[in-house]
Amino acid sequence: MNKDLLVNKFEAIYVASQEKLRFFFAPGRVNIIGDHIDYNGGKVLPVAISLGTTAIVRLRKDNIVQMSSTETKGKVRVDLDKEIAYDKRAGWGNYPMGVLHFLKATDMPIFGADVLFTSTLPIGAGLSSSASLEVLTGFTFMTLAGKEVDRLALAMLCQQVENDFIGVQCGIMDQFAVAMGKKGQAMFLDCSTLDFEYVPFQTGDYQLLIMDTNSPRELAGSEYNDRRLQCLEAVGVINSKRPIEYLCQATFSEIEELIEDSNVQSRARHVVWENQYVHEAKEELEDGDLKAFGECLDASHLSLANDYEVSCYELDVLVDAARSFPDCLGARMTGAGFGGCAIALVHKDAVEKIKTYVGGRYEAATKMEARFYVCDVVDGVHEV
Ligand code: GLA
């Protein structure tokens, strides 16, 4: 949404004041490869994308924070002098409320403010709309307090919001990517140590195409937590023979020999394979071998679909259709799964053709319309 329009909307919602308006932006993220291994001490390779969330903010003279969104009606009101607790009725407002809750526990001053959020991210489509909103809120209030933002600490605080306020036991990947993103670079992050390096995301004549199933991810929260428990179970079994901290440290023979439950065994197999694919993909990307890089994407999707069982019919239709197109080097679901988005690496000249082709196949198979996005790889959260 353009700035003037946003200012008009803001002025229509909030009482006028002399304080100046400030703007902040947080990107969404696409994980190129490495799904469901951030919470297993694995490596991931996300990028921050140009679709994201914007906040327009103005300080108040009291200790009240009012928040609204261009996507929904109504205001969320927080009294900073009172305990901030999860409130089902607040819906999306719980994400920024959770951030304020945990910021209060630090020694940082939080000032009252009026805030209007707007988003170009499809909400709940697996492009980290919630991490974007959390990190944006944290960065905004830290900046308003005149603080130099420690981006890693911010990402960790926002992960805590998901874990302990929202109740999704997610890993660190999304909040990290939104906070630490860099223009033109992917982040190769070791989730067991939080060591990371930037890897140029150079795909030559090829382009990342995001394909959105446009189908709700209702199971995402509960199934996600179930997968996490199964991984913990696998760690427990292996620990009875050899101490490991994270499932990514297990070997294939340990998984085959020690884990009896076939579901738990498949989950563990995915985790260890996926971690290897990330290493391979990073090397192929650095060597400019895009064909081999695309093959890693394909292999990762199969592992997520067959062993981790977090894909779904809609995602598989998109991925299979993209893959059957000659100018596509590879495709996979991205993020938590159970709906949401997939990505494909496609020749720049073929983007429009592939959209029509995949879109047609998708509609025929699902009676739904897929959405497509082509994004730039951008910097993490910042003031604009
Ligand atoms: C969600 C979580 C992340 C990560 C992915 C799957 O996006 O928030 O921490 O686990 O799923 O890779």
Question: Which residue has its alpha carbon closest to ligand 1 atom 1?
Answer: 336
Q: Residue 194: is its pLDDT beyond 70?
A: yes
- Per residue in 282-293, pLDDT (tens digit) is 999 999 999 999
Closest atom of ligand 1 relative to the 37 alpha carbon: 12
Please give the distance, rounded to the nearest whole angstrom, from the Cα atom of residue 332 to the centre of ligand 1. 15
Please give the distance, rounded to the nearest whole angstrom, from the Cα atom of residue 2 to the centre of ligand 1. 31
Please give the distance, rounded to the nearest whole angstrom, from the Cα atom of residue 239 to the centre of ligand 1. 24
Closest atom of ligand 1 relative to the 310 alpha carbon: 6
In degrees and rounded to multiples of 5, residue 256 shows phi and psi of: -65, -40
Please give the distance, rounded to the nearest whole angstrom, from the Cα atom of residue 218 to the centre of ligand 1. 15
Q: What is the pLDDT of residue 215?
A: 84
CA dihedral 281, 32, 157, 214 (to 10 degrees): -160
CB of 274 closer than 6 A to ligand 1? Answer: no
- Per residue in 357-374, pLDDT (tens digit) is 999 999 999 999 999 999
CB of 337 closer than 6 A to ligand 1? Answer: no
CB of 38 closer than 6 A to ligand 1? Answer: yes
Q: What is the pLDDT of residue 123?
A: 84
Q: Which CATH class is domain 206-374?
A: alpha beta
Structure tokens at 255: 């998984």
Closest atom of ligand 1 relative to the 44 alpha carbon: 12
Please give the distance, rounded to the nearest whole angstrom, from the Cα atom of residue 169 to the centre of ligand 1. 9
CB of 49 closer than 6 A to ligand 1? Answer: no
Closest atom of ligand 1 relative to the 336 alpha carbon: 11
Q: Residue 52: is its pLDDT beyond 70?
A: yes
In degrees and rounded to multiples of 5, residue 380 shows phi and psi of: -70, -170
CB of 48 closer than 6 A to ligand 1? Answer: no
Q: What is the pLDDT of residue 218?
A: 62
- Contact between 81 and 235 (Cβ < 8 Å): no
Q: Residue 106: is its pLDDT beyond 60?
A: yes
CB of 176 closer than 6 A to ligand 1? Answer: no
Q: What is the pLDDT of residue 221?
A: 67
Residues 6+ positions from 355 with CB-CB distance below 8 Å? 209, 372
62 noted as active-site residue: no
CB of 254 closer than 6 A to ligand 1? Answer: no
Residue from 113, 130, 118 nearest 79 by CA = 113
Residue from 307, 146, 155 nearest 234 by CA = 307
- pLDDT tier, 379 (very low <50, low <70, confident <90, very high otherwise): very high
For the chain, the structural domain boundaries read: 3-200, 206-374
Give the angle 332-338-344 at the CA atoms, nearest 5°: 20
Please give the distance, rounded to the nearest whole angstrom, from the Cα atom of residue 173 to the centre of ligand 1. 6
Q: Residue 316: is its pLDDT beyond 70?
A: yes
CB of 98 closer than 6 A to ligand 1? Answer: no
Is the Cα dihedral 120, 122, 128, 131 positive or negative? positive
Among 35, 38, 174, 307, the active-site one is: 174
On the CB side of 338, CA atoms within 13 Å amount to 14
CB of 39 closer than 6 A to ligand 1? Answer: yes
* Mean pLDDT, residues 29-36 taken together: 98
Q: Residue 337: is its pLDDT beyond 80?
A: yes
- Contact between 265 and 259 (Cβ < 8 Å): yes
Please give the distance, rounded to the nearest whole angstrom, from the Cα atom of residue 50 to the centre of ligand 1. 19
Q: What is the pLDDT of residue 220?
A: 62
Mutation to probe ligand 1, out of 160, 174, 194 (largest number of atoms < 8 A from CB): 174
Q: Residue 209: is its pLDDT beyond 90?
A: yes
CB of 173 closer than 6 A to ligand 1? Answer: yes
Q: Residue 216: is its pLDDT beyond 80?
A: no
* Domain 3-200 grouped into CATH 1.10.510.10: no
Mutation to probe ligand 1, out of 29, 30, 33, 38 (largest number of atoms < 8 A from CB): 38
Is the Cα dihedral 165, 166, 168, 172 positive or negative? negative
